[in-house]
Structure 1
Amino acid sequence: MKGGDNVGNCREKEEYMGRRPTKAADNQFCKARLAAAEYNERLFAKEGASELLGVSVSTLSDYELGLTKIVPPDMVVKMANLYNAPELENYYCREMCPLGYEMPKVDIQDLDRIAIKALSTFRKLDETEDILLDVAEDGSVSEREVSDLHKILKTLEELESVTQNLKAWVKRNL
């Protein structure tokens, strides 16, 4: 799975193999496994995937059905590596870990899309730098500077999002 391919629909891929998950169809772990199965046929079946992950079939089923509320982080890392799906780590942090709920969502796109977003954000940084200097100059934030501070944070969050997306792209493609 290279260069921004979409993960795809779990139902379609399992249907192709003669099985049709119903409850797991929209589960990120199931989608990632079946997308990876295009490159490793053993991953089409939970039996093959569970063997490669070192867990029982029922445990993997519980993850994919959402019956395990918090999948162990080391298992998420194993799945992300085996499925070549670094976005699973981001999904885990954003959706399952109370410490990471504010992380930007990783949406692995093609490199050119990420580069354009990065350049657009870099362009905003010059203005952001000037605003930050104006706000911080006197050591306090006045009421009229609060909106400027929010603008600064928005630009930095965009930069963080671009950074996370580029990291995920590199992890998947290099």
Structure 2
Amino acid sequence: MLKEARKKAGLSIQEAAFRLHIGARTLVSYENGHTMVPPDVILKAAEVYNEPMLCARYCAKSCPIGQVYANPVEIKDLAIAVLGLLKEEADVHRTVNRLIDITHDGIITEDEMEEFKKILQELIELEQRIQALKLWAVKTLSLQIKPKEKAALKAAY
């Protein structure tokens, strides 16, 4: 994953290592899978290589927490990303009233469980579409969502 991104960016081992502030041998070890890549190196590589999918792939495949909680996401073109997002939003919108019915008492009964799981799957699919659009924007428009901005966005909601 790291080697392919570096090559796609057109960087030599030496140039990439310099930009990543690591040694060339260390980079080779990361690229060959001999050493686990630290998250800060992945973040920097995603920026240097202009490849935000590195972070998503790292989280989904390498990070123990991400392997449980991250969803696989692929960057689509803008129209597909937006239409997919709108479709999933409509699907979730259709299920909101039933979600309220199931959860209003704070208890999910056995007979409600299957329907709740389906609604949860719709929410996960919406989350994936949001992430795909965000990754498209980061890659295509060179937008960066920094931790402070992310915290401010969360506080606004």
Please state which band the TM-score falls in when normalised by the shorter chain.
0.7 to 0.9
Inter-partner Cα distance in structure 1 for 2:40 and 2:105 = 46
Shift of 1:34: 1.2
> AA paired with 1:87?
M
Q: Is 1:87 matched up with 2:60?
A: no
Residue equivalent to 2:140: 173
Q: Does 1:130 align with 2:103?
A: no
- 1:31 — aligned with what? 4
**How far apart, CA to CA, are the structure 2 residues paired with 1:110 and 1:35?**
18
Show structure 1 runs of 5+ residues with no match: 1-27, 38-42
Contact 1:104 1:164 in 2 (8 A): no
Deviations 1:11-65 (A, max 9, x none): xxxxxxxxxxxxxxxxx1011111111xxxxx0x212211221211111111110
Q: Is 1:77–2:50 an aligned residue pair?
A: no
* Coordinate RMSD, CA, aligned: 1.2
Higher share in helix: 2
2:93 is aligned with what amino acid?
D
Runs of 4+ in structure 1 off by over 6 angstroms are none
- 2:123 is aligned, of 141, 147, 156, to 156
> Which structure: larger Rg?
1
Q: Partner residue of 1:111?
A: 78
Aligned-partner residue type, residue 158 of structure 1: E
Structure 2 spans left out of the alignment, 5+ residues: 142-157
Shift of 1:138: 3.7
Percent same amino acid among aligned pairs? 36
Distance 1:32 1:154 in 2: 31
The alpha-carbon deviation at position 147 of structure 1 amounts to 0.7
| Residue identity in the other structure for 2:23 | S
Aligned residues: 140
Cα distance per residue 1:81-109 (max 9 Å; x no partner): 00000111111111221111121112111
